[in-house]
Amino acid sequence: MKKRNLLIIAAVAGILMTGCSQGSEAQTETTATIQETETTAEATEELTEETVKEETSEEETTQAAAETTKAEETEAETEAEAAGEGFEDNFAVDSAAAAEFGSQIKAAVAEKDLEKLADLTAFPVYVGIPESSGSVETRDEFIALGAEQIFTQELIDSVAAADENSLSPSMAGFVLSNDSGRPNIVFGVRDGKLAISGINY
């Protein structure tokens, strides 16, 4: 009887131990599953953060590129305005642009720089040298006239005395000359930009 009771107790103990062992395994499996879930969640969160960073970086790059393009366009517009480009007619030219262009002409005449003056000229151009047709068709023809014929002392003095800051537009353009009005250099809008259109003696 005693022996039988011992066997029963041993069997119960075995069953209990097996149950505990299975419970422990189940608990271990559950813990492992929880850990895997947490690891997956962390990885997903990291990927999400990286994606957000990449998207933010792309947006910043796009925005920076757009700002650079806008700045370049603004700079180009400013340069075009400074060079006297984009004007519809002589009356659309502001006084600052006219004064700036007039200063460039005065400098070229004072230096007797025919190349520089040619750069400021639109061809064909009227050049009223005595005993000539007056019309000069190309830059080469203009240069061929020579500095001595173009830069007479009277023209140099008249242009030097001109006040480029008080030029008034007309249909013909702007006139750089002394108070007497001649000789003079006339400039105005040609194809949207300022250029010399006539030299009168």
- What is d(CA 190, CA 149) in angstroms, rounded to the nearest whole number? 25
Q: Does residue 89 have a pLDDT over 90?
A: yes
Going by pLDDT thresholds of 50, 70 and 90, the confidence category of residue 131 is confident
Q: How confident is the model at residue 66, as a pLDDT?
A: 58
Tell me the average pLDDT across 62-81.
54
Structure confidence at residue 80 (pLDDT): 46
Instruction: Return the half-sphere exposure (C-beta side, CA atoms, 13 A cut-off) of residue 169.
Output: 16
Alpha helices in the chain (DSSP H): 2-82, 95-110, 114-119, 139-145, 147-150, 153-161
Q: Is 124 helix (H, G, I), strand (E, B) or coil?
A: strand
Residue 83: predicted pLDDT: 46
pTM beyond 0.85: no
pLDDT tens track for 26-67: 454 545 544 554 555 555 455 555 554 555 566 665 666 556
Does the structure show a pLDDT above 50 at 20?
no
159 pLDDT more than 70: yes
Is 123's pLDDT higher than 80?
A: yes
Task: Report how far residue 156's alpha carbon sits from residue 102's, in angstroms, rounded to the nearest whole number.
Answer: 14
pLDDT: which is higher, 83 or 97: 97
Specify the pLDDT at position 132.
79
Q: Is the model's pLDDT at 93 over the cut of 90?
A: yes
pLDDT of 175 above 50: yes
Per the CB < 8 A criterion, the answer to whether 171 and 162 are in contact is no
**Cβ 160 vs Cβ 109: under 8 Å:** yes
